[in-house]
Structure 1
Amino acid sequence: MTKLAAQSALVLAALSLAGEAAATEWNVSVWGKRRAFTEHIHKLAELVEEKTNGEFTMNISYGGLSKNTDNLDGISIGAFEMAQFCAGYHPDKNRAITVLELPFMGVNTLAEETAVSHAVYAHPAVAEEMANWNARMLMTSPMPQYNLVGTGEPRDTLESFDGMRVRATGGLGEAFKAVGAVPTSVTSSEAYQAMESGVVDTVAFAQHAHLSFGTINEADWWTANLNPGTVNCPVVVNIDAYDMLSDEEREALESSIPEAIDYYLSNYGELLQRWDSVLEEKGVTKVMVSDAELEKFAEVANPIHTAWIEEMTAQGLPGQELYDLVNSTLEDTRASN
């Protein structure tokens, strides 16, 4: 090889390496298996890769990077660049967003859940608290109101909740506790085993989770209209990784969020439409709780709301402001529709 040819080869190799170095690859930590709850993350990855011509890609790992309850810790140390977690897993680490897990907040649809979540995520108190974990809020994982599946005789009155062992986290757990139930916060991945072994009588999940984690397969009945609240599960990114993105990459990421959320809502809507056929297929009885019992249960929420506001305020967080933000966002969302 001539000296000129050798020099040319070195230049080409250097350019090749530079091209490789310019590509951005993020690791994303989720759990369970691919399901309605994670479809927006897959859509986001697809859109970002398309918009950057393959220069910004995401590797989505189901449990291979971290336990679900450790995802926020993983983000804080930069073990991966993006992750999904649920506020109820560690309410002490994400106090501000637990307002979204308070029971009986009156959120009726997935679109409303999306609106109130993103409004709260945008609040400075949330950004400041998440920064303690080197995390930046990216988008929510909107879920419908939770309902119970259970074994044995249906639990359709407050009296029947007394002594009920229920898998429920966050504000839902507090609501069930207030009417005499015994909540436990086993992780979603452990819920089926807890139900199968009799550790719990009932499990509170959204529809996709009852399917994905198999609790519907152990169930004799399902409450169709209890609707006590839901769990809030954000998708976050590591702040350092976000700041290292180029302007083009950051634009590709941010601009893809609305379409990813729309895809999620459409996909989840299809699941809700076929839910009755799922119940029929699995021989699960659909239980309707009476309006009188629902009103009694909802009344339990008032002191829980008040206690949350007082506790957050005592800790230096704008509890009342965050609570009011949820209600005002609900009003605005409904008015715009």
Structure 2
Amino acid sequence: MAQSNFIDYVKICSRSGHGGAGSAHLHRDKRTAMGGPDGGDGGRGGHIILRGNSQLWTLLHLQYRKHVIAENGQNGGPSHSTGAQGKDDVLEVPLGTIARNAETGEFMCEITEDGQEIILTPGGRGGLGNAHFKSPTNQTPRYAQPGEDGREEWVILELKLLADVGLVGFPNAGKSTLLSVVSAAKPKIANYAFTTLEPNLGVVAYRDYRSFVMADIPGIIEGASEGKGLGLRFLRHIERNSMLLFMISCDSPDIAEEYKILVNELETYNPELLDKKRILAITKSDMIDDELEAEMRETLPKDIPTVFISSMTQKNITQLKDMIWSALNS
């Protein structure tokens, strides 16, 4: 099997730079035999910084970079010379990246905007030179502060896709086909379970040059919230979607039961997911006639807007986009 180019989870060792030591220098030159303290401050150690980059959509570039190390600050010098700051190490990450402490699981920060910068691991402060410690009773202090140590910690970077609409359904529900029809995305499509092994994003064009972003999430199976199948790994991407489009094939033996299972998996994983707006699309409806469609409507859940669609024949695709746009803007 070919290696996936979509990486949404990496663990790195983040080590910021040590601060430079302050100088304990005393001024001496040919005209001054016993000058006062003129030791400069040490430079700050380099930070490890996360920066949002809207052109990235995966953490692949960080997959094999296990150790991220910033430069140490330089020591202070004579004549009040401040040591140079250590060079920061800036990690470009996709929007929707969350950082957590790998040992405690504690949330550290998240990147949601292009160009946004957050210090992940701050560098150590530079030490003060002896010039700061001169006083009337201590005219020639011969000591200075050492630099503050940098920090070293293991950090988990986790990507949660930012999309307006998340597609939720069992394998072979037609999610990838719909995305390929309404956007320029070209997900792999085949007639077997778990065709989609990684999320796909597509920009859907709407009326008057407007658009919204749709995410095809790998198929969920019953028990996904307990770690079965592929669903658990990708359920977190659904958390960032503004609304959810449930997709169930019209050849399902029990559409209402399938919908109930999908809702239960989301609720088990994160009850807050049920607060999102929802639409139910019954797919592959080109395979049934109007009479059978009418009969099926009687058995569908009553608490969710429903539309019968066919990606192959474009049936009700425009109506679906209207429903999505209305839900996103209401």
TM-score (norm 2): 0.29
Q: Which structure carries more helix by proportion?
A: 1
Greater Rg over alpha carbons, structure: 2
Q: Which structure carries more strand by proportion?
A: 2
